[in-house]
A and B are shown apart, each in its own frame.
Chain A
Amino acid sequence: MIALYRVLVLVGLIGLWWLISLQVGGVIIPSPPATLGAAQMLLAEGRLLPALGDSLITFLGGYGLAIIVAIPFGLLMGAFAPVGKTLEVYVFALAATPRVAFVPLIIVFLGLGVEAKIFIVFLGAIMPILINTYAGVLATDRDLLEMAQSVRAGRVETFRRIVLPGAVPFIIAGLRLGATIGLINTVVAELYTAVRGLGGLLALYGNTFRMAEYFVIVLMLACIGVLVAEGLRLAEKRLVRWKSGS
């Protein structure tokens, strides 16, 4: 049912897009068929897929690295109160700093290549995952902890069976935010360092007012966002199956 509604909304959005394009003229807002034509052309020229590949490497590299670092670190901060209390000030300070501010510094150290790009994505994605994981551990149900104490469950057992599963919804929320910021930073990285990937094409077509091609790139980015979100939704469905009830 939801799938049907989604398709209906999609059709509506495309219709609206078409209408606006007719109103303001195809030079500023290209019509859906013009955009489709541009997509076919970009594919035929062999520009779209390499750019997509570049962007995916940057995004998945940085995002994956952020996950690998942020989740264990967040769990550590939550599980050991002195560590968490000591470091949280710095984590929050770093999270509040616009990460774009670090770009020049990153270029100095890592250059303009893929390492720098991955690092920019990593820096953006890590904070929401880290902060959410930490919050998830801190939000552990006190009553369940007292129950665990009452049966003299060990620290490891309590962590594995109570704290960690309880934090999963928080972690997934963090992964969602991290993916969004990671995707934005992918484009930022491609604009600020060596101009490549989807971000590079975005700049190229944007600056030369080739709006149909520009739209193709924007839609590609939106599709990546949707795919990542759906993947996380499936992961969540598997991990918190107990919540669904029947």
Chain B
Amino acid sequence: MTEPAAHVVLSGVSKHFGHRDGTPMAALTGVDLTIATGEFVAILGPSGCGKTTLLRLLDGLLQPDTGSICVGGAPPRPGPETGLVFQSFRLIPWANVRDNIDFALTSSGLSLSERAEKVDEAIALVGLQRFASAYPGELSGGMKQRVALARALASEPQLLLMDEPFASLDAQSRELMQTELMALWARRRPTVVFVTHSVEEAILLADRVVLMAPRPGRVIESLPVDLPRPRWGYDVHGHPSFIALRRHLSERLRELVLTDPGSDFFQRGAPRS
């Protein structure tokens, strides 16, 4: 088997933040992770394990304290080559949907008409044609999230970083968006790093699920998902691999939360359902 080209390589990455009392707090320690070009990786882990920090490092918004990060052979640099969907929408309140998306293309080197075309494409992709000139204040939470997604996709990035992008959607839109994302990924084949709290979402979407643990934030497991693609048109949730993987990951997450002294549920041993 030939090794697929690595797109993202993290080796020995750690990141600390200053505590209020001045002592550094480890948000991430000793992270080694290699992601192949075109791979879809889901990052799963309890709150505070450094998932968002990891994405900000991958986008080049933060620099690691130790270790090195390579994206496409060079240290990451924010820009149109990498699309980041933030956990909160971060839309510009005084710009309409169209201008919000266009803002992501200002450094793309495209002409105004090319930019308008890309914006239209991105709007169509998330199905917001009718709201192209609406302001964020006039949109529902789910629609705002779709604008944020369209903004990240507009520049057709090779690396797509998504921070719990569907967390605020209702079940139906969430399912639709998941399918949309899978179709888009199959078409454009960007490398995707998808952060989520949901075990099922991670398994449904990803080629590989990376499990993280908090305090200090670290990677503890990396599990391939061998479910046939495309993962729509058949009962993915009933597939034996899906069920086995879900059971395993849910167990591990539960364990992590109950044995983490920093967690609100430490040694609570809540009854199993």
Contacts and interface: CB of A to CB of B under 8 A. Distances in A.
B86 A152 contact: no
A151 B104 contact: yes
Nearest to A162: B92
B84 A150 contact: yes
User: Of residues A143, A147, A242, which shows the largest number of chain B Cβ atoms within 10 Å of its Cβ?
Assistant: A147
Interface in A230-245: 240, 242-243, 245
B164 interface: no
Contacts of B137: 242-243, 245
Contacts of A147: 86, 90
B103 A242 contact: no
A188 B90 CA distance: 48
Interface string B210-221: 000000000000
A165 B94 CA distance: 7
A157 B90 contact: no
A151 B103 CA distance: 8
Nearest to B59: A150
A43 interface: no
A161 B95 contact: yes
Nearest to B93: A242
B106 interface: yes
Contact of A152 (B90, B107, B138): B107
Contacts of A157: 103, 106-107
B79 interface: yes
A225 B73 CA distance: 64
B94 A143 contact: no
Contacts of B103: 148, 151, 153, 157, 161
A146 interface: yes
A144 interface: yes
Contact of B78 (A149, A165, A166, A245): A149
A149 B106 CA distance: 11
A151 B106 contact: yes
Given A148-B103, A151-B155, 11 more contacts: A147-B86, A150-B59, A150-B86, A151-B106, A152-B78, A152-B80, A157-B106, A157-B107, A161-B95, A242-B135, A243-B137
Interface of A: 143-144, 146-154, 157, 161-162, 165-166, 240, 242-243, 245-246
26 contacts: A143-B86, A149-B61, A150-B59, A150-B61, A150-B82, A150-B86, A151-B79, A151-B103, A151-B104, A151-B151, A152-B79, A153-B106, A154-B106, A157-B103, A157-B106, A157-B107, A161-B92, A161-B99, A165-B95, A166-B94, A240-B94, A242-B93, A242-B94, A242-B96, A243-B137, A246-B138
Interface of B: 59, 61, 77-80, 82, 84, 86, 88, 90, 92-96, 99, 103-107, 135, 137-138, 151, 155
